Structure 1
Amino acid sequence: MGLLVRHNLVFDTTPTNTVRRCGGHPGWLRFATSEDGNFMAVDTAPAQGGRPGQIIRTGRDYDDGPAYVTESITSLLGHYLDLLDQGAYEKSGDRIYLRELARDTAPQQIIGAIPDEVPSTLQAIHINDAPGLVDLAPLTAAPNLRRLHLNRSTTADLTPLRDLPVESLRITLDNGNLTPLTAHPHLASLDLTTTAPADLTPLRTVPHLRGLDLSGADVPDPTVLADLRYLSLTARQWTTLLNEGTVPPTLTAARLADADATLDDALAWAAGLGLDTESTLRLTGTLKTAGG
């Protein structure tokens, strides 16, 4: 019953800090394509550690961020000439296809469990269905970790996250201790579930927190930051904020998280937020599928 918004996380490139962490930029001048929606581009607006004129890949398959290719057009063409000299190509009609060697790269994203050896290149991990409390300490070996999602998994200590640049965090916390997140300089989105009452005070010191889901958390005082853009709460939590007049004025998206909420419940909630519900359209009927 509402609009669900997630933090749009863009990975860093390898080498790190060479290409801007964004999905597109007017300084990326596309010049070549393999006709699959992906492109090579000259990067005229690199990140701090990059070089103007470096070559990057971007496009349909680069939702997680652009990829660094080489330092210049000159070096790219030189590499292609080397492949031709080595006979590392195939001809098909009037086209030549260069045979690039597969690059042995460490993973940027892991889905499953924390591995015995955490790669330093790791930027995102989804930990699913862990049987016991998850120890987050091994993740300190990934200094560029930006997304940590615990799915149907629980942890008891957020201390290892203090010095990690995590921007998107989804956790079930086996206590209410959010103190390790105090003044976290990178955290932008938090989906919090707790098994004990949680004090949100540390979150008020997080400078870039813009999205918050507390619908699975036991929070006696759901008062939150004044400059949130997205907030997901249960009807009971929303009622507390509405009664106290503490709904963040900067909200651009909100969610009523109760699975059993009716349309009338949602309309009453939306009206409480000051939204116009007079023109709401109700449709009833039966949907027939191709199978009958």
Structure 2
Amino acid sequence: MRANRSPVSSTTPHICQPGWIRFAGGDDGNYLAVDMDPARNGLPGQVIASGRDYDEGPVYVADSLTSLLQEHLELLEKGSYEGYADYISLRRPGCDSGTQQIIGVIPEEVPTTLQAIHVNDATGIVDLSPLTAAPGLRRVHLNRSTTADLTPPRGLPVESLRVALTGGDLSPLAGHPHLASLDLKTTAPVDLTPLRSVPHLHGLDLTGAGTTDLTVLADLADLRYLSLGRQQWAALLDHGKVPPALAAVGLVGDDVTFDDAIALASRVGLDTGDVLRVAGSL
């Protein structure tokens, strides 16, 4: 369920505030919270939605938890909901539920207003073809789900793509004019050459991908963020083929230490003089 956007509480929208009391969340990284420290336009005790998919800040949901529960009960009694295999989605009046979907399978009929879709824990290979019905689609994230064909996103303004690819290749992404972020996992090695012609690719995560030649990455002149595993970084550094414009790097692995990360940042030319160590959970 997606809440309507309206002025809410926080002056730092991307950080969980001490006055936000979380009471509901999901595997998608989003949550509901009771806001006990509202800003000028907020009310103490209001319910807000925030998290990974709320890039513009928290969203007002209800004036209180009691009001929210009452509204949900009324919607259930009216039958204003859609049922899926293991969950239901409430249809709230005035809420444009067609702009974002968090689901377990892509429906045959996709809303033309869809702008973001998260497919979680899908069984079998996900067919992305129905997404071509959404001409404004900008985010496609397959979480713990796989697809075999990246052709459907080729003609869409997708800016953020997260996929696990099995049996396919990256050729449909060649020259994609909008793609800015790619998180790729594969079940077999893939050729990264098509990424050379993606003009606005700024973020790339290949920690779960098998690749044939990482030196191709040196040709990504505008790449700002790159995340790789330990062996992948070693291969890239040994060939001296680090992308020239990196501003941040990621090092992924169960045995990776903080010192390993600092050493890597230094090797790729990043400034490590004022490193800040932060511990916590997300």
Instruction: Assess same fold via TM > 0.5.
Output: yes
Write the distance in 1 (CA, Å) between the matches of 2:117 and 2:182: 15
* 1:151 matched residue in structure 2: 143
What TM-score do the two structures reach when normalised by structure 2?
0.62
2:199 to 202, 207, 224: 207
Write the distance in 2 (CA, Å) between the matches of 1:246 and 1:213: 16
* 2:174 matched residue in structure 1: 182
Answer with 258-267 or 247-256: which moved more: 258-267
Write the distance in 2 (CA, Å) between the matches of 1:260 and 1:118: 42
Unaligned runs of 5+ in 1: 1-12, 14-22, 24-32, 38-59, 67-100, 288-292
* 1:111 matched residue in structure 2: 102
CA distance 1:187–1:281, change in 2 (3 Å): closer
CA distance 1:277–1:132, change in 2 (3 Å): same
1:265 to 254, 260, 267: 260
Q: Considering only CA atoms, is the larger Rg found in Structure 1 or Structure 2?
A: 1
Shift of 1:162: 1.2
Q: How does 1:1-292 map to 2 (within 5 A)?
A: 35-36=41-42, 63=54, 102-103=93-94, 105-112=96-103, 113-223=105-215, 224=217, 225-275=220-270
What TM-score do the two structures reach when normalised by structure 1?
0.60
Check conservation: 1:106, 1:121, Cα contact below 8 A. no
Question: RMSD in angstroms over aligned alpha carbons?
Answer: 3.3
Higher relative contact order (CA 8 A, sep 6+): 1
CA distance 1:146–1:275, change in 2 (3 Å): closer
Write the distance in 2 (CA, Å) between the matches of 1:280 and 1:250: 20
Check conservation: 1:119, 1:142, Cα contact below 8 A. yes
Check conservation: 1:176, 1:195, Cα contact below 8 A. no
Percent of aligned positions with the same letter in both sequences?
60
* Deviations, residues 90-126 of structure 1 (Å, cap 9, x unaligned): xxxxxxxxxxx94364520000131232100000000
Give aligned pairs, total. Answer: 198
CA distance 1:206–1:104, change in 2 (3 Å): same
Check conservation: 2:112, 2:135, Cα contact below 8 A. yes
* Deviations, residues 55-101 of structure 1 (Å, cap 9, x unaligned): xxxxx9995569xxxxxxxxxxxxxxxxxxxxxxxxxxxxxxxxxx9
* Deviations, residues 245-264 of structure 1 (Å, cap 9, x unaligned): 11112111111111321234
**SS across alignment from 1:162:** helix
Amino acid at match of 2:256: A
Write the distance in 2 (CA, Å) between the matches of 1:241 and 1:204: 16
